[in-house]
Structure 1
Amino acid sequence: MSVLTHGTGSFFGGNSTFADVMLPRTTNTYMHEYNQIAQTASYLNTPERMWAAWYAYIGNDVLATGIMSFMMHEIVYFGRCIPWLIVDRIKALRKYKIQTHKVPTAQEQWDCAKLVLLSHFTVELPQIWFFHPMAQYFGMAHTVPFPPLYKIIYQIAIFFVFEDAWHYWSHRALHWGPLYKNIHKIHHQYSAPFGLAAEYASPIEVMFLGIGTVSAPILWCAITQDLHVLTMYIWIVLRLFQAIDAHSGFDFPWSLHKFVPMWAGADWHDTHHEKFIGNYSSSFRWWDLMMDTQSGPEAAKKRRERKLAKAAKSA
């Protein structure tokens, strides 16, 4: 931890905020803050200097985290969706499309994008805005230097497992009659999903399923008091990638599920949209396999065979 101080507060780490401990500013520019930090904390790497300079430049931790979180979410979400929009228009790649007879039109994608944007600004933005106070309450760090890479990796691995369990049972519950009709049906408007449709859902569903994404890190932090906002950001980015890719509608020879055992992938979730039932998991396949809720003709065939074998045995 740094020992650079201003007044009585520690500039890096501790309980003080960046705004409280920042050295006096002679000009209100981001580059001024960056250069000042580079001179006084040369042991920090470039990303750490950029991070600290951002908080110092904004001068308000809640505002700094809120702006950075929302911009990150929008850039990552739509930035990841754009390649899939292009892939949808390349006929040479059409052979990798899972439901080849269902290609989303430009109008469908535009209508989807409008609802997703509306949801981002009306539902997700308020939640993102209150993230920093909640994170601070549970002891989540936002200071520099950043945690080591190994810690980031194993914590995110835990988050993936936790979120997948939450998503399975929550998603399965949303397919119960009244909940499906009044909440989840919106998400199933597209029986052949595409990237933009990953967050095409009712506000209630966005909040309900989002709890799994946010509560895993918060619970971990509350128990261990050992989590950094950067780890949270990387987790959110990877979770967005997973959700968008699962809705892409394409299964390539290099798709992740062909190299990572039990990874769900687009083929798993595409079948869920096509059949409207089963394959409830988000990232992994094990919950569906354990609970016998796989979707698709092969899974249905195996269930019939088990049922016939059981009937023959009891006869």
Structure 2
Amino acid sequence: MAASSELKHVDPDQVLDDQAPVQDEWGPIVSHHKAPFEVGDVFFYSVMISLFFGGLHLYGEQFWAHILATYPKPVIILGGSFIISEVGFWFWVTLLGVLDLYQFPKSFWRYKIQPLKVPTWEWYTKALWVVLQNQFLVGVPTGLLLYKLLEWRGNPIGMELPTIWDLAKESIGFLAIEEIGFYYGHRLLHHPKLYKRIHKQHHLYTAPIGIAGQTNAINSHCGFHLPLFPSPLAHDYHHEVFNKNYGPVGILDWLHGTAGSRELTLEKKKQREAAQAKSK
């Protein structure tokens, strides 16, 4: 079968549901049976956090003291956040772009989730223009506004290095906030009156690519099921069928009955076909 690189879009009222067939766009190259979180993901996060805090407290305190003595607080918070997010975003997006557009290194292409949909330069150029607008015309003014709100509240951001206990507490809190805000906000964007005007552009990518997300969503949009990395399968499936897996964690999808996977849909399809065969 010829590989498809077409940038196509399907409206929500035409998308797949539990009663519709799913075409095999994922291919037989690699097994995709993986939960959103598993042992490999926990290992990955544990190693990254350990390396970060080990390096931070062994080598970072003197550097951080120099930063505090050299730059004012607004520059550190606004400028530092912008530089770190930009460097991280473009570093990973560039690596994924080489993998998508040149299939280099070739051995990693076996982890492509939908290998029959091959990304093209058209995909990347369309996304590049939108990303630059979002980062500079939306992200910068939003950052300034948020900082002004923080100042209005007394600027509660501390400048001391966090402990691992502080990170654990805040991570759990932010995870809960993100799950609630992202799930209901995302479902709202899929309402027909908002979808065509706002969110449709993001769903042009039925096989997502990293540059089509923002910084914290690169992995879930990367299109590759890489070993040890957090699983992008749930959100990749959302881009394929549009009406499943709205949330980042999956708890609210489970509660509201919007959780889904390609394997479950194909299994239901097989069961329906078997039942229809028996009835004949």
TM-score > 0.5 by shorter chain: yes
User: Which of 53, 56, 69 pairs up with 1:56?
Assistant: 69
Number of residues paired by the alignment?
212
Is 2:128 the partner of 1:113? Answer: yes
SS of the equivalent of 2:137 reads helix
Match of 1:143 in 2: 159
SS of the equivalent of 1:182 reads coil
Distance 2:67 2:177 in 1: 31
How has the CA–CA distance of structure 1 residues 302 and 294 changed in structure 2, closer, same or farther, with 3 Å as cutoff?
farther
SS of the equivalent of 1:162 reads helix
Match of 1:271 in 2: 237
Is 2:262 the partner of 1:288? Answer: no
* 1:98 and 1:249 in contact (8 A); partners too: yes
How has the CA–CA distance of structure 1 residues 183 and 54 changed in structure 2, closer, same or farther, with 3 Å as cutoff?
same
TM-score normalised by L of structure 1: 0.60
TM-score normalised by L of structure 2: 0.67
Distance 1:52 1:251 in 2: 40
How has the CA–CA distance of structure 1 residues 78 and 250 changed in structure 2, closer, same or farther, with 3 Å as cutoff?
same
Distance 2:262 2:88 in 1: 35
Q: Tell me by how many angstroms 1:275 deviates.
A: 1.0
Distance 2:170 2:267 in 1: 36
Distance 1:169 1:302 in 2: 28
Is 2:257 the partner of 1:244? Answer: no
Match of 1:197 in 2: 212
Is 2:182 the partner of 1:167? Answer: yes
Q: Tell me by how many angstroms 1:293 deviates.
A: 0.6
Q: Tell me by how many angstroms 1:277 deviates.
A: 1.5
How has the CA–CA distance of structure 1 residues 131 and 297 changed in structure 2, closer, same or farther, with 3 Å as cutoff?
closer
Match of 1:182 in 2: 197
Q: Tell me by how many angstroms 1:271 deviates.
A: 0.8
* 1:66 and 1:131 in contact (8 A); partners too: no
Match of 2:82 in 1: 70
Amino acid at match of 1:48: E
How has the CA–CA distance of structure 1 residues 61 and 104 changed in structure 2, closer, same or farther, with 3 Å as cutoff?
same
Q: Tell me by how many angstroms 1:181 deviates.
A: 0.9
How has the CA–CA distance of structure 1 residues 93 and 143 changed in structure 2, closer, same or farther, with 3 Å as cutoff?
closer
* 2:210 and 2:219 in contact (8 A); partners too: yes
Match of 2:94 in 1: 82
Tell me the alpha carbon deviations over residues 9-42 of structure 1, each in whole angstroms, 9 at most, x when there is no partner. Answer: xxxxxxxxxxxxxxxxxxxxxxxxxxxxxxxxxx
Q: Tell me by how many angstroms 1:154 deviates.
A: 2.3
Which structure has more relative contact order (CA 8 Å, sep 6+)? It is: 2
Q: Tell me by how many angstroms 1:162 deviates.
A: 1.7
How has the CA–CA distance of structure 1 residues 244 and 54 changed in structure 2, closer, same or farther, with 3 Å as cutoff?
same
Amino acid at match of 2:222: S
SS of the equivalent of 2:181 reads helix
Tell me the alpha carbon deviations over residues 173-228 of structure 1, each in whole angstroms, 9 at most, x when there is no partner. Answer: 111111111111011111110111113xxxxxxxxxxxxxxxxxxxxxxxxxxxxx
Give the unaligned 5+ runs of structure 2.
Answer: 1-56, 271-280
Q: Which runs of 4+ in 1 moved over 4 A?
A: 296-305
Q: Percent of aligned pairs with the same residue?
A: 29
Instruction: Note the aligned Cα RMSD (angstroms).
Output: 2.7
Larger radius of gyration: 1
